């Protein structure tokens, strides 16, 4: 992405800011894993969306006053000893080039600067990203800042920046759509690598190694989220991350994976028999899922209620399963379909967007058809990425083998 893309994102946000208000976004800090070891740093996605930067302990500040907006970035200062151990830090010139923000300062001045701003009397509202997905989630820098703000400036009003950002992130820009297309190519390479290597006796961690190696040929970005790769009975754990199972002859291999490109993340699921040949029952269930998926891509279009996507997947798949003699009543659908059929993708694999009531061009989400028949020992899902267009929709992941014929053909090579 170029700096103009991030400048455009910021201008759109500023339209929603009150006059006399302040926006503060933190990139985040490393989280300690154990002793002197930290988890790999992952920046706050809203911070990235607004700046294009992925550096830790950075702050973006914007002041809206009198119809104009003043922008600043606060970065960690140069530190030769720290950089010797953990890598070079971004320079002010590099940060300006990437983000388009011209006023670059070092992080140690942020606290004094922000106190002067908040005490000036010119600003009455502070926008912070304090959203938590669950009450037990760990607090971030924005939460501790909000606590101090309430204590030190009790008359200052706070506003939720994430509400505005979730609306802005819902409609994908041309740059974001292009990045999704590139990520789909990587995902395709990873899934095909697993298909070609598949054989009875192969361990789940070996499938994962094939996927990771294929993505690694495109660069260091790698998977956009922890890969779900399972075989046999492990397919009945929806979010499975152990990779300790072994595919036995006749087992289905399930994977729910996705690459990232310029922070855009795909989410694709494919299922196949580890020996490369669908049994009669596997084919029966898979064809039901495929028919449902194909139908969804024929009917999704602007103006369709978002709730109808899940509901239609469930109802249409039931009719196919009923025709196949697997189910008799819609009341039984929960025995074979265990989860919803759509979620938005983008900067997060379950993108933190405001879920829409009505579909509109530029929205990108998954069409996910999962079938889990424990009695037959068959569990898989067929998940593709849908982009809503002006007159219908596009399957962004259509090139990833998805029919019985194409999967078996790939696995014979």
For the domain covering 3-168, report its CATH number: 3.40.350.10
Decide if pLDDT at 261 tops 80.
yes
Decide if pLDDT at 155 tops 80.
yes
Q: What is the pLDDT of residue 134?
A: 86
Strands 68-75 and 59-65: antiparallel
List pLDDT tens digits, range 54-84. Answer: 999 999 999 999 889 999 999 999 999 999 9
What are the structural domain ranges in the chain? Answer: 3-168, 174-412
Mean of the pLDDT values across residues 371-395? 98
Q: What is the pLDDT of residue 36?
A: 87
Q: Do domains 3-168 and 174-412 have the same CATH topology?
A: no
Decide if pLDDT at 204 tops 80.
yes
In sequence order, the β-bridge partners of residue 37 are: 34
What is the fold, at CATH topology level, of the domain defined by 174-412?
Creatine Amidinohydrolase (3.90.230)
Tell me the C-alpha distance between 251 and 51, whole Å: 46
Q: What is the pLDDT of residue 132?
A: 84
Decide if pLDDT at 9 tops 80.
yes
Tell me the C-alpha distance between 233 and 381, whole Å: 14
Residue 325's SS3 state is coil
Q: What is the pLDDT of residue 66?
A: 84
Q: What is the pLDDT of residue 67?
A: 82
Which residue has tokens 């690694």?
216
Mean of the pLDDT values across residues 348-365? 96
Asked whether the beta carbons of 258 and 266 are under 8 A apart, the reply is: yes
Decide if pLDDT at 413 tops 90.
no
Decide if pLDDT at 240 tops 90.
yes
List pLDDT tens digits, range 94-149. Answer: 999 999 999 999 999 999 999 999 999 999 999 999 988 888 888 899 999 999 99
Distances (CA, A) of 131 to 51, 54, 104, 120, 143: 19, 20, 27, 27, 9
Residues 6+ apart with CB under 8 A from 270: 191, 195, 255, 382, 383, 400, 401, 402, 407
List pLDDT tens digits, range 274-298. Answer: 999 999 999 999 999 999 999 999 9
Q: What is the 3-state secondary structure (H, E, C) of the chain?
A: CCHHHHHHHHHHHHCCCCCCEEEEEECCCCCEEECCEECCCCCCHHHHHHHCCCCCCCEEEEEEECCEEEEEEEECCCCHHHHHHHCCCCCHHHHHHHHCCCCEEEHHHHHHHHHHHHHCCCCCEEEECCCCCCCCCCCCHHHHHHHHHHHHCCCCEEEEHHHHHHHHCCCCCHHHHHHHHHHHHHHHHHHHHHHHHCCCCCEHHHHHHHHHHHHHCCCCCCECCCCEEEEHHHHHCCCCCCCCCECCCCCEEEEEECEEECCEECCEEEEEECCCCCCHHHHHHHHHHHHHHHHHHHHCCCCCEHHHHHHHHHHHHHHHHHHCCCCCCHHHHHHCCCCCCCCECCCCCCCCCCCCCECCCCCEEEEEEEEEECCCCEEEEEEEEEEECCCCEEECCCCCCCCHHHHHHHHHC
The percent of residues in the chain predicted with pLDDT above 90, rounded, is 96
């Amino acid at each position: 992405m170029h700096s103009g893309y991030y400048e455009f994102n910021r201008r759109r946000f500023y339209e929603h800011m009150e006059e006399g208000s302040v926006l503060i976004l933190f990139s985040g800090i490393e989280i300690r894993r154990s002793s002197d070891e930290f988890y790999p740093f992952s920046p706050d996605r809203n911070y990235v969306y607004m700046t294009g930067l992925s550096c830790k302990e950075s702050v973006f500040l914007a002041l809206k006053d009198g119809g104009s907006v003043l922008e600043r970035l606060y970065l960690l200062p140069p530190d030769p000893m720290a950089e010797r151990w953990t890598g070079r830090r971004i320079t002010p010139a590099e940060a300006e080039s990437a983000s388009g923000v011209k006023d670059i300062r070092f992080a140690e001045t942020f606290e004094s600067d922000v106190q002067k701003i908040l005490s000036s009397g010119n600003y009455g509202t502070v926008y912070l990203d304090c959203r938590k997905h669950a009450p037990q989630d760990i607090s971030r820098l924005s939460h501790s800042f909000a606590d101090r703000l309430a204590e030190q400036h009790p008359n200052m009003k706070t506003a939720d920046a994430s509400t505005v950002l979730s609306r802005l992130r819902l409609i994908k820009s041309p740059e974001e759509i292009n990045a999704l297309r590139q990520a789909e190519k990587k995902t395709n390479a990873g899934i095909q690598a697993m298909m070609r290597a598949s054989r009875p006796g192969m361990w789940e961690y070996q499938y994962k190694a094939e996927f990771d190696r294929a993505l690694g040929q495109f660069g260091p970005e790698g998977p956009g989220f922890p890969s779900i790769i399972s075989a046999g009975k492990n397919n009945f754990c929806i979010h499975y991350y152990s990779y300790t199972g072994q595919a036995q002859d006749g087992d289905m291999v399930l994977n729910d994976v996705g690459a990232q490109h310029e922070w855009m993340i795909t989410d694709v699921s494919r299922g196949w028999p580890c020996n490369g040949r669908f049994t009669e029952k596997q084919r029966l269930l898979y064809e039901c899922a495929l028919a449902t998926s194909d139908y969804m891509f024929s009917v999704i279009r602007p103006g369709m209620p978002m709730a109808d996507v899940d509901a239609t997947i469930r109802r249409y798949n039931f009719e196919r399963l009923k025709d196949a003699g697997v189910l008799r009543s819609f009341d039984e659908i929960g025995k074979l379909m265990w989860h919803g059929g759509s979620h938005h993708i983008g900067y997060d694999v379950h993108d933190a967007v405001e879920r829409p009531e009505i579909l509109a061009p530029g929205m990108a989400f998954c069409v996910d058809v999962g079938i889990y028949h424990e009695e037959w020992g068959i569990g898989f899902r067929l998940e593709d990425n849908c982009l809503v267009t002006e007159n219908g929709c596009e399957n962004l992941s259509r090139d990833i083998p998805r029919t019985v014929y194409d999967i078996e053909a790939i696995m014979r090579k």
